[in-house]
Structure 1
Amino acid sequence: MTQATHPTLARTLAPTPSLARDLLLILGGAALVALVAQVEIPLKPVPVTLQTLAVLLVGAALGWKRGAASLTTYLLAGAAGLPVFAGGSAGLAKFAGPTGGYLLSYIFAAALVGWLVQRYALDRRPLGAALAMLVASVVIYAFGLTWLGMVTGLKGQALLTAGLTPFLIGDSLKIGLAALLLPGAWALARRR
């Protein structure tokens, strides 16, 4: 028995399948993440950015495959030296530094939120969208905190203070905003 797959927002807005469409969606998602990564509040060892908002929106709007491909493209662009990471930074060294786990988590978080909305159509209502994004945010924190602890040697409360606590309010607001944007975009898509 096959499981139901609900159409993504991107597929609904651009229903004709083509390689060009998929490439544009993937590159557009990567560009969105790169753009909002430039909105940064410098904080050590991990800055506050709008990246997670874009990661969650890209995954939900594009679905799990294109969402993961988009974030992979974003990370490859940064690794290749394009200034797409927070504050215009780039290079392979970012993956070895304190933010490396957060960066790598983006692929998995986008794929997870994309899978959840495709499987359960959670992006049609604010509460469902927020739930999918909350689950994906746990993935971001799991990767990020694990790597941050390994790189810095921080443990326990010190690790949480450096890599979790400063972001909880902002991430809650980002999830709330994204959870309102997605159902709003679906309402517009239905009118088309």
Structure 2
Amino acid sequence: MRLLLIEDDEMIGEPIVAMMHEAGYAIDWARNGPEAKSLLDHESYDLLLVDDGLLETVGIGLRRRVRSCSMPVLVLTERDAGECRMSGLEKVDYLVEPFGIDELAAQVRASLRRYTRQIGLVYAHGDLSLRPATREATLKGEPLVLAPQEFDLLQALIEEPKRVLTRSEVRERLDGPSEACGSDKVETYVHGLQSKIGAEQIVTVRGAGYRLR
């Protein structure tokens, strides 16, 4: 198993790398956003270990890249897990610092097992289908080529197709609460998705939000 640690604090990163090596894992260490994105673009990993503070400080680009990964994510945080839910990130588990090697290794194993069980998960609605683990979507059996935000929007809609997704929920799902996109961008993503799956597939509920037909 090969892991990627995304952590900018040497005092935190060094012991984690040592812990994971001792537990028998191969691990690469990215110390900043550009390095992490480069590794994710060119290397293959089984799980990401991500510092929640780094995801917040480096901005939206790294968060989008992590969100698009077809692998589990283990968020390392100093806060209670309930206080640091990362909107838009799927396959996410949380581990509160401080932790020991046994606890970290056990959570890595648990995250990998949970992800393995979810690989076969497929959402279907009418002629649409979506597989979150591989970020694949189809319409009438034909692959859809979607931008990352369009895929995230479709997933949010198809998870609960009868519920109206509010504009604020769309903004948070697409960009996260710290850098939420404006209403104009929400409309852009909605229209972009409609152009690929059909305008009639997404119902705009005036003054409320969106849902699938």
TM-score by length of 2: 0.28
> Which structure shows the bigger proportion of residues in strand conformation?
2
> Which structure shows the bigger proportion of residues in helix conformation?
1
TM-score by length of 1: 0.30
- Of the two, which has the highest radius of gyration? 2
Structure with the larger RCO, 1 or 2 (CA within 8 Å, 6+ apart): 1
